[in-house]
């Protein structure tokens, strides 16, 4: 037999208990008791709970007094019983009027009774009237376990939960991206019309998620939040973390639009949350195993350790890659050019920095690729992220997508943290998957080139730097030295002898396409000072910097100098 608030008021053990407000709500059913001793308690209260309080937390705050009545009524709690005489002399009139307005039972407990006395009295009645509750709980447990052991899977578990609680349910991963959802035909607020039901995307807007407590992983009960549907009303969302050992694997969100949840519904929610956690742990371990195997294959592929084309072809099919497509490798570095951490110094600080950065880069790369229509695979490698881009059969169309993706990636990364300047270097296209190591080497050479030649572009396509590759790959160091001396030797000698900056001055001249103002600004010197240096350079080289053949020779000489420095 159910215990109502009216039954509580008539208990002989608590003589003198008085109904202060909300007389029209005394038919509410009490399912359990709880103590409200701080405002955060509201986060984990559930429907049917009967709350007891000394009033200490809201004794001098009328706004909190009113809001607590509203919040408890919204959660559909059974009532609030306040012990007066210590912190509250009498029942606050604002709480009484709010209770009357919402038909929410507000009860005064005389000073002579302790909260524990009221709690134990209610619990005795609950235990004596719930003889069949244990059997119903066991029935729920058997049904949930039967689902897990037979059909299994997160979707089937969600279907079972929807059937048990009579409300739609959404399931997300730990980043709030939708894994699955099950609606009901009698739902007055269909999920597809009110939230985003696209898998792998967040169903709820950021402003809604921002209202959730940071310590949600520690909650063992469902947290209640109200979702406002513009022009249509609002829905209570009961959010239960799918967690184990303080690690969140996802969230169960009950869309409480069909009927109010009862005591047994919360039992079902808890049971499914536990089984879902086991399912997510298993799925995560399987996924991690697959990722380790896949990463080993990609690492071997990028390093050129797989010599057999047949082996590459069969492994590519296993991991969902198209062997016959043309590919490009992209290398993404994050950080100021002059502040990149040296490989030999990457210990605790450097590793943790990249560990936090790589997730951001991968997320941004996935978004940029989606927007540009590019097909990519992200491969973290030490301090950099390698992106394998599938160009398909059309190199031109695929390359256009990669260009759009690379530009968008730089925008996304530099928008988030202006101090970190992202650099994306794109290697040349290769005809098959078996040759991607060549494209990676090409991109890695481009990283060195960007750092040593003063290139300001944050997206570097190696196709556009054939001269650099020609000098670096096909001319030995002695040959580069001779050519460098023959072209810009007088400038090198003068810089070494007098400490001038003629080589840098000429380099900035070409870097800014002959713009004296831009070059001077880049060197932080006055425009007239830059012109003076340029005239000295012309005299030393015996040229007016107008002959195209001579200009090409000087540019190549500067490039050779940078390669030698590198």
pLDDT at residue 99, as a whole number? 96
With a pLDDT cut of 70, the percent of the chain lying above it is 89
Radius of gyration of the CA atoms of the chain, in A: 35
* Homologous superfamily, domain 133-284: GAF domain (3.30.450.40)
pLDDT tens across 108-165, in order? 999 889 898 899 888 888 876 655 666 777 788 888 888 888 866 899 999 999 999 9
**Residue 355: pLDDT band by 50, 70, 90 thresholds?**
very low
The CATH code that applies to domain 304-464 is: 3.30.70.270
What is the average pLDDT across 184-198? 94
In 3D, which of 264, 263, 273, 262 has the Cα closest to residue 240?
A: 273
Distance CA 322, CA 325 (A): 6
Q: What is the pLDDT of residues 360-385, one digit of tens each?
A: 888 889 899 999 999 999 888 877 88
Percent of the chain with pLDDT over 90: 33
pLDDT number for residue 72:
93
pLDDT over 50 (residue 417): no
**225 touches 237 (CB < 8 A):** yes
Q: How far is CA 444 from CA 156, 391, 395, 413, in A?
A: 47, 19, 21, 20
- CA 414 to chain centroid, in Å, comes to 17
Integer Cα distance of 541 and 151 in angstroms = 82
Region 402-426 average pLDDT: 79
Instruction: Answer whether 119's CB lies under 8 Å from 36's CB.
Output: no
The answer to whether the CB of 52 falls within 8 A of the CB of 109 is: yes
Most confidently modeled range among 41-50, 216-225, 270-279: 270-279
Neighbouring C-beta atoms of residue 563, cutoff 10 Å: 19
Asked whether residue 345 carries a pLDDT value surpassing 50, the answer given is no
Same fold, 304-464 and 475-565: no
Q: What is the pLDDT of residues 155-171, one digit of tens each?
A: 999 999 999 999 999 99
Sign of the CA dihedral running 295, 296, 299, 300: negative
pLDDT-derived band at 231 (thresholds 50, 70, 90) equals confident
What does the DSSP assignment read for 445-514?
HHHHHHHHS----SEEEGGG-HHHHHHHHHS-HHHHHHHHHHHHHHHHHHHHHH---HHHHHHHHHHTTT
Reference 376, options 331, 423, 413, 421; nearest CA is 331
Architecture of domain 3-129: 3-Layer(aba) Sandwich (3.40)
Q: Label residue 394 left, alpha or beta by phi (over 0 means left) and psi (-120 to 50 means alpha).
A: beta
pLDDT of residue 155: 92
Q: Return the structure tokens found at 254.
A: 């009950």
Residue among 76, 74, 272, 77 nearest 165 (CA): 272
SS3 of 365-382: HHHHHHHHCCEEEEEEEC
pLDDT at 220: 63
Query: Do the bridges between strand 384-392 and strand 223-229 make them parallel or antiparallel, or are there none, so unpaired?
Result: unpaired
* Tokens found for residue 24: 């029209």
Within 13 Å and on the Cβ side, how many CA atoms surround 146?
A: 9
Q: So where are the chain's domains?
A: 3-129, 133-284, 304-464, 475-565
pLDDT at 352: 42
pLDDT for position 192: 94
- In DSSP terms, which residues pair with 242 in a beta bridge? 250
pLDDT of residue 466: 66
Measured between alpha carbons, how far is 149 from 288 in angstroms, rounded to an integer?
23
- How many C-beta neighbours within 10 Å does residue 106 have? 26
The H or E element spanning position 172 is: strand 169-173
Rounded distance, CA 85 to CA 69, Å? 20
pLDDT of residue 124: 83
Sign of CA dihedral 17, 22, 24, 27: negative
Quick count: other Cβ atoms within 10 Å of Cβ 505? Answer: 22
- Rounded mean pLDDT of the chain? 84
Specify whether the CB–CB gap between 426 and 387 falls below 8 A: no
Residue for token pair 């030797």 = 489
Task: Report angle CA 4, 237, 55 to the nearest 5 degrees.
Answer: 50
Task: Classify residue 277 by its DSSP letter.
Answer: H
Structure tokens at 117: 């006395």
Least confident of 101-115, 292-306, 405-419, 460-474: 460-474
User: 3-state class of 114 per DSSP?
Assistant: coil
> Is the pLDDT assigned to residue 350 strictly greater than 60?
no
Instruction: Write out pLDDT tens, residues 302-339.
Output: 888 888 888 988 988 888 899 989 999 999 987 654 44
pLDDT at 354: 43
Classify 76 in phi/psi space as left (phi over 0), alpha (psi -120 to 50) or beta: left
∠ CA 169-172-178, nearest 5°, is 90
Please provide the size of the chain in residues: 566
DSSP state of 86: S
- Provide the pLDDT confidence category of residue 412 given band limits of 50, 70 and 90: confident
Using CA atoms, how far apart are residues 334 and 341, in angstroms rounded to an integer?
A: 10
What would the mean pLDDT of 533-543 be, rounded to a whole number?
89
Of 3.40.50.10260, 3.40.50.150, 1.10.275.10, 1.10.10.2840, which CATH number belongs to 475-565? 1.10.10.2840
């Amino acid at each position: 037999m159910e215990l109502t608030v009216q039954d509580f008021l008539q208990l002989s053990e608590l003589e003198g208990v008085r109904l202060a407000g909300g007389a029209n709500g005394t038919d509410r059913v009490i399912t359990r008791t709880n103590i409200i001793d701080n405002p955060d308690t509201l986060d984990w209260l559930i429907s049917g709970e009967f709350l007891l309080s000394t009033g200490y937390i809201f004794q001098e705050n009328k706004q909190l007094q009113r809001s607590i009545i509203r919040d408890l009524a919204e959660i559909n709690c059974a009532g609030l019983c306040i012990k007066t005489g210590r912190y509250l002399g009498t029942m606050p009139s604002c709480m009484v009027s709010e209770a009357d307005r919402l038909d929410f039972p507000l009860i005064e407990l005389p000073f002579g009774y302790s909260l524990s006395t009221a709690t134990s009295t209610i619990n005795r009645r609950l235990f004596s009237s719930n003889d069949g509750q244990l059997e119903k709980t066991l029935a729920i447990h058997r049904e949930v376990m039967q689902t897990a052991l037979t059909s299994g899977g997160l979707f089937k578990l969600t279907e079972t939960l929807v059937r048990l609680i009579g409300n739609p349910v959404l399931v997300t991963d730990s980043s709030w991206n939708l894994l699955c959802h099950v609606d009901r035909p009698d739902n007055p607020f269909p999920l597809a019309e009110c939230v985003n039901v696209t898998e792998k995307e967040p169903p709820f807007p950021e402003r809604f998620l921002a209202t959730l407590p940071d310590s949600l992983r520690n909650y063992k009960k469902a947290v209640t939040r109200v979702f406002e549907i513009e022009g249509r009303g609002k829905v209570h969302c009961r959010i239960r973390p799918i967690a184990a050992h303080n690690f969140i694997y996802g969230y169960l969100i009950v869309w409480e639009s069909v009927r109010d949840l009862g005591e047994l519904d919360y039992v079902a929610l808890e049971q499914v949350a536990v089984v879902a956690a086991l399912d997510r742990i298993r799925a995560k371990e399987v996924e991690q195993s697959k990722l380790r195997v896949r990463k080993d294959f990609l690492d071997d592929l990028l390093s050129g350790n797989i010599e057999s084309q047949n082996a590459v072809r069969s492994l590519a099919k296993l991991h969902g890659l198209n062997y016959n497509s043309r590919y490009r490798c992209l290398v993404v570095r994050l950080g100021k050019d002059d502040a990149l951490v040296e490989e030999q110094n990457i210990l605790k600080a450097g590793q943790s920095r990249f560990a936090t950065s790589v997730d951001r880069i991968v997320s941004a790369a996935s978004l940029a690729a989606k927007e540009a229509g590019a097909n990519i695979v992200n491969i973290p490698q030490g301090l950099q992220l390698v992106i394998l881009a599938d160009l398909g059969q059309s190199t031109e169309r695929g390359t256009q997508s990669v260009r759009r993706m690379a530009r968008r990636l730089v925008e996304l990364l530099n928008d988030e943290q202006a101090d970190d300047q992202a650099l994306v270097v794109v290697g040349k296209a290769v005809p098959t998957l078996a040759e991607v190591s060549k494209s990676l080497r090409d991109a890695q050479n481009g990283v060195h080139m960007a750092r040593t030649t003063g290139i300001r572009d944050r997206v570097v396509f190696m196709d556009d730097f054939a001269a650099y590759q020609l000098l670096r790959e096909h001319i030995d160091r002695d040959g580069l030295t001779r050519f460098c001396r023959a072209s810009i030797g007088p400038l090198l000698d003068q810089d070494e002898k007098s400490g001038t900056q003629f080589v840098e001055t000429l380099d900035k001249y070409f870097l800014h396409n002959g713009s004296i103002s831009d070059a001077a600004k880049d060197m932080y010197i006055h425009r007239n000072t830059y012109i003076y240096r340029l005239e000295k350079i012309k005299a030393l080289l015996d040229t007016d910097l107008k002959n195209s053949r001579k200009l090409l020779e000087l540019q190549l000489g500067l490039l050779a100098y940078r390669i030698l420095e590198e």
